[in-house]
Structure 1
Amino acid sequence: MASLTRSPHVHNTPVSPRRALLALGGGNAVEWYDWMVYGLLASYLGPQFFPSSNPLSSTLSALAVFAVGFAARPLGALLFGTLADRFGRRAIMLLSIGCMVASTTVIALLPTHASIGAWAGVILVAARIVQGLSTGIEAPLNSAYVVEMAPEGQTARYGGVISVYVQAGIIAASAVAFVTSSVLSPQAMEDWGWRVPFAVGAVLGLIFLWLRRSLPETLRTSSPDDPAPVKTSQVWREVGRNKLALLAIVFVVAGAQALNYTWSTGLPNLARTAYDEDPSAVFAVSTLSGLCIAALYPLVGRLADRKRISRTFVAARLAVVPLVFVVLVYQAPGMATFTVVMLIGAPVLAFTMGLYNTVSATLMPMSCRVTGVGLGYAVGVAGFGGTAPYLMLWLQDMGAAWVFPVYVAVLCLISVLLYTLAFRRGAVRVGS
């Protein structure tokens, strides 16, 4: 197998670092904007595509389609990840955002059940599956590209900028949905207004699809006499040779996503359902927390580059162990307590979410980086991230709330142990 290295042409490209980050991060933001908009508008989509005499049943049907998209994400990571390691990063980045633009456009223009019957729901499910495939590759592919394109000593800073874009996309989804529903009447929103946020996402996607065309390729073989792409079996053989690194990535992602979903979903749902807090106030605090996290990402990147990514990651992950127990402070109704817990978690989340993608990418060699990171990411998110809010609320209901922070702390300790072992056994250490 031809050896693969950081492309010597990456930094000689006429594309400026600022424009490259805009194309890369902006595309990422659009992907997450489109992903989140569906969930925010599920209550409008349900009656249009899955009509029922019970409005709740219609909404649940739309949310079930939302879950189908999650199920498609691991497949997208593996399918597109292998292609990215065989043929290059740039083409798959264009394919990823192209799929998201196409599927979002379909949803924005899709006739409802009243026009084409059950086919409306079928097409909506298909579009959501395509969105799942697209978002499944976006995080691992962007992580690999950042590690390979960033100038020496600036890997974490570039990764931090990309994290800001991700957060911006998530916040923008809420903002556009809020503005649209505020400007239009409730009836107009139900009839056609729900299409507007999807249309905005499609237009933004086209802009960043065009910008991504100028990005350079970072995957190069060191043997110009052997231009043929590697085989799929060769990529997976490389993944097999890095089993410890793969296991480390699973738990690096698991610790980050368990913490992320605890603050972004678990605590807000606990506030609304168990303690009957004012939904508007909960949403405002959650948004404030998200803005604080986004503001801290660049600082996290600069600190990690200055102190070394490996040291910053280990220190930040160990700091999570005692700090995650702050969730136990919120054990009774009280918006003041909820606000304090959410804001205490913001810097912890910034260090955790701002580093885990970059750290994961440094653990795999270039020859199988996107496939390995994609597989580890898929397992980590599906097995430990998405289940965290449910586990948190279930343990709370069972009177064993203390078990949840112990569980997250153990995940973080395991991630540090496996990362250290993989690092010492010769894992790729770009910028680490």
Structure 2
Amino acid sequence: MSATVSLASPARDRATTRTAMLGLGLGNALEWYDWMLFGLVSAYIGPHFFPSHDHIASTLSALAVFAVGFAVRPLGGVLLGAVADRIGRRRIMLLSVTLMAITTLVIAISPTYAQIGVWAGVILLVCRLVQGVSTGIEAPLATAYAVEVSPPGREARAAGYISLFVNLGLVLASLVSFFTSLALGAEAMQEWGWRVPFLIGSLMGLVVLYLRRALPETLHESDRAETSVWRGVGKHWLGLLAMIFVVGAAQAYNYAWTVGLPTLARSTFQEDPTWVFAASTGLGLVLLAGSPLVGWLADKYKLSRTFTVTRLLAVPSVFLMLLYSQPGLGGLFGVIFGGSVVLVLNMTLYNIVATSLMPKYCRATGAALGYGIAVALFGGTASYLLVWLQNNQLIWMFPIYIAALSLISVVLYLAARKFSGTFAGE
């Protein structure tokens, strides 16, 4: 079954693809700006919504809410993915951005514990649950859409393009936080300045909603199979299992570097927050610049081969984090940038690899379900686990954990290719 969109002419094909990919990409940037922002400023949010005599305990409470958002991602994948496989991709992608923009605005203006007591934490939790449903479908559906709107042989490049915009969102989250902290100072940032990046994110949502209205539909009547969507997912259960570990290992590595290490630096080692945001921004720039290149490499040298090699490289690279065991910005910068190259290799390819394990007629449902389970089990808990292990002198266990996930993901992926098949990028 072809994954390309049938259009009237090559010129129209190219114009429609460019418009679609721009709207798609900017929506991804917004989703991940809003999503990651919470993790980046969790050390500020914790004391306002979960006050405690211990600052680290407040931060861990905020990170727990951050993790809860991941727990409902499978629900978003199950509900919205099945709808996307039945009524089409476009309307669901508009819905996901709308949900993210509204909840980001609510977080920006939400009263604190000092003003309304425990209800402040409840409001925060509800917002994260809604955002979890939204992102549960956004990431896998966006990659599926990019594959379906791209010419054969360029699917990995399309995934690199989507990854570029995802990383743009991460960079913007770090960059806006950095400049807000630089302009307002540490005291104001702690008191109220953390709200400013959330307000900016909610305003960005209006622009993205306008652009996404131009997205063409890629799921047509001829793409729908006679069998049910869920029967198709069940038929490719091995692909679903492989997808969970392919995504889970990458996300555990990702959140350890993008959220766990910066949070560890601010809450446990009391590093200057402005420089911590600078390190996060630099990491985002590496991911941003590397994504298109990795996509090009995967199309040139074959997706399966590129994925296997880059995933195996993650096994030794995660042990770099053991070098940051005491306060010191030099150690933080060295670890973050030392692991950044392997991180960009893995973060660019994991979504296209996951997408390739499901046929088109059940792709949105299967990819969203696998993605949601993976980030709930491994991604959302990574930053919390990293900080907790450090505070209990068990940090050495964390890289072993990610290395094991990486090895399991390679074994399951190769098994799924052999017994279940691949449906894109090959």
Q: Does 1:173 align with 2:167?
A: no
Q: Which residue number in structure 2 is paired with residue 425 of structure 1?
A: 419
Q: Is the 8 A contact 1:81 1:137 kept in 2?
A: yes
Deviation per residue, 1:191-236 (Å, 9 max, x gap) = 876554333222211111111111111112328xxxxx889x9211
- CA drift at 1:386: 2.9
Which TM-score applies when normalising by structure 1?
Answer: 0.84
- CA drift at 1:109: 5.2
| CA shift in 2, pair 1:142/1:390, >3 Å | same
Q: Which residue number in structure 2 is paired with residue 35 of structure 1?
A: 35
Q: Which of residues 273, 280, 295 is equivalent to 1:286?
A: 280
RMSD: 3.5
Matches within 5 A, 1:55-74: 65-74=65-74
Q: Does 1:264 align with 2:258?
A: yes
Instruction: Mark the structure with the bigger radius of gyration.
Output: 1
- CA drift at 1:278: 4.8
| CA shift in 2, pair 1:347/1:82, >3 Å | same
Q: Is the 8 A contact 2:178 2:278 kept in 1?
A: no
Deviation per residue, 1:283-324 (Å, 9 max, x gap) = 433322221122111110111111111111111112222333
- CA drift at 1:8: 2.5
- CA drift at 1:93: 0.4
Identity of aligned pairs, percent? Answer: 53
Q: Which of residues 350, 369, 378 is equivalent to 2:344?
A: 350
Letter in 2 for 1:155: E
| CA shift in 2, pair 1:186/1:359, >3 Å | closer
Q: Which residue number in structure 2 is paired with residue 384 of structure 1?
A: 378
Q: Which residue number in structure 1 is paired with residue 6 of structure 2?
A: 8
Q: Is the 8 A contact 1:155 1:305 kept in 2?
A: yes
Mapped to 2, the partners of 1:246 and 1:33 lie a distance apart of 28
Q: Does 1:254 align with 2:248?
A: yes
| CA shift in 2, pair 1:412/1:29, >3 Å | same
Q: Which residue number in structure 2 is paired with residue 155 of structure 1?
A: 155
How many residues align structurally? Answer: 423
Letter in 2 for 1:369: R
Q: Which residue number in structure 2 is paired with residue 226 of structure 1?
A: none
Matches within 5 A, 1:15-414: 15-41=15-41, 50=49, 65-108=65-108, 122-183=122-183, 195-222=195-222, 234-271=228-265, 278-331=272-325, 334-392=328-386, 401-414=395-408
SS in 1 for 2:29: helix
Mapped to 1, the partners of 2:332 and 2:6 lie a distance apart of 50
Unpaired stretches in structure 1, ≥5 consecutive residues: 224-228
Deviation per residue, 1:106-135 (Å, 9 max, x gap) = 444557778888766655543332222111
Mapped to 2, the partners of 1:96 and 1:323 lie a distance apart of 34
Which TM-score applies when normalising by structure 2?
Answer: 0.85
